[in-house]
Amino acid sequence: MSSIKELYNKGKTVLSCEIYPPKKEDEFANIYSKLDRLAEIKPDFVSVTYGAGGSNAGKAVEIADYAKNKAELEVVSHITSVGFSREKLTQGLDRFKQIGIDNILVLRGDRPKAMTDEQFNSRDFLHASDMAHFIREKGMDFTLLGACYPHKHPEALNEDEDVKNTKVKVQCGCDVLISQLFFENEYFYRLKDKLYALGVKTPISAGIMPVTSAKQLGTTVTLSGTTVPEELSSIISKHGDNPEEMRKYGIEYAIKQALDLKNKGVDGLHFYIMNKPELAKELMDAVK
Ligand code: FAD
C-alpha cells in the first residue's frame, strides 16, 4: 500500500497539486500529456477532483488510473457524498483499489444546480465525516484525507463550530487534512492553533492558489468564501489587464505565501494549479 500518510513523517514539506477532469471533451486528451509533464516535475502526490453529482465520475477514475499507473504519480482521489450512496461508495472504492489508489479525500460536495434541495438532503452520508466513519467501520484499507477551512466553511455558524466539526472528521478516520485556498496566512495559522488546542495533531497541507488572471477572482475565489487582502487586490487592479504581468505578480504573491508557510514549518503545500503543470514547476522550484 502506498499511503501518502508516510510522506508527512519524513521531516520535509510535502508538495502536492490538484488536477481536475476537464469539462470539454477536446481538452480531455490533453490531460494525459499534462500528467506526463507533472511526472517530470515530481510532486509528492497529485489529487484528482470529483464533480459532486457524478458528472465526471468516469473521467475522474480514468485520470486517477493514468496518473497512478502510466505517469507513476502518487494519487489521492476525491469522492463526494453527493452522488455516492452507501452501495455506490463501496463499489467506487473497490474500483479505486483495483487500480491501485490507496488515498481518498472524502468530501460532502455542494448541491449541483440540477439537484433539488430534497434530493441533496436525502444523501446517505450527510457529512464527509460520515463517509470516513463508514469506510473505517468496513475496515477498508485507505489513507483518508478531509478538507478544512481557514476562513471557516461558508455554511458554518462560526469558526469554532467549524473547527469542532473538523475534529469530528479526524476522529472518524481522516489521517491528513487539506485546506481550502486562502491568501492570508494568519487565517491558516489560526485554524492550525485552534485544531491543536482541541488535540488535533493531524498533518495539514495548506491550499495555495496563484491568481494568474483577474477573472479567477470572480469564480473559484468567490465560491471559496476566501477574503482577498489589499496587497493582492492592488496587484489585480494594477496588472489585471496585462496577462503576462498578472501571471508574474500573481505567482510571486503565491510564492511569498508558500515560503512563509514553509519557514514556519507547515506540513505540506497543496497547489491549486488549474491543470497547468508549469505553474506547479514554478511554485515547487521556488519553495524546494
Ligand atoms: P463537511 O465536512 O460535511 O462540512 C460541511 C459543513 O457541515 C460545514 O459547515 C461543517 O462545519 C459542517 N459539518 C461537518 N461535519 C459535521 C458533522 N459531523 N456534524 C455537523 N456538522 C458538520 N467539491 C467537489 O464537488 N469535488 C471535489 O473534488 C472537491 N474537492 C475539494 C478539495 C478541497 C481540499 C476542499 C477544501 C474542497 C473541495 N470541494 C470539492 C468542495 C467541498 O465539497 C465543499 O467545500 C463542500 O461545501 C463541503 O465539503 P466538506 O467535505 O468540507 O463537508
Q: How far is the CA of 39 from the centre of ligand 1 (A)?
A: 29
**Residue pointed to by grid coordinates 510522506:** 7
Q: Which of 16-20, 53-57, 208-212 is the least confident region? A: 53-57
Contacts of 23 (CB under 8 A, 6+ apart): 56
Q: Which of 47-61, 88-102, 108-122, 206-220 is the least confident region? A: 47-61
Instruction: Specify the number of domains making up the chain.
Output: 1
Q: Is pLDDT at 45 greater than 90 in this prediction? A: yes
- CB of 20 closer than 6 angstroms to any ligand 1 atom: no
Q: Is pLDDT at 55 greater than 70 in this prediction? A: no
Q: Is pLDDT at 154 greater than 90 in this prediction? A: yes
What CATH number does the domain containing 213 carry?
Answer: 3.20.20.220
Q: How far is the CA of 46 from the centre of ligand 1 (A)?
A: 19
- Position 1 scores a pLDDT of 64
**131/124 Cα distance (integer angstroms):** 9
Q: How far is the CA of 110 from the centre of ligand 1 (A)?
A: 8
H helices present in 172-204, as ranges = 185-197
Q: Which atom of ligand 1 is nearest to the CA of 161?
A: 11
Mean pLDDT of the chain: 94
pTM attached to this predicted model: 0.97
| Among 54, 58, 134, residue whose Cα is nearest residue 90 | 134
- Position 54 scores a pLDDT of 61
The pLDDT confidence band at residue 185, using thresholds 50, 70 and 90, is: very high
- Position 161 scores a pLDDT of 98
Q: Of all residues in the chain, what percent carry a pLDDT higher than 70?
A: 97
Domain with 17 in it: 4-287
Q: What's the rounded mean pLDDT across residues 128-140?
A: 97
Contact call for residues 88 and 138 (beta carbons, < 8 A) = no
Using the 8-state DSSP alphabet, how is residue 268 labeled? E
SS3 92: helix
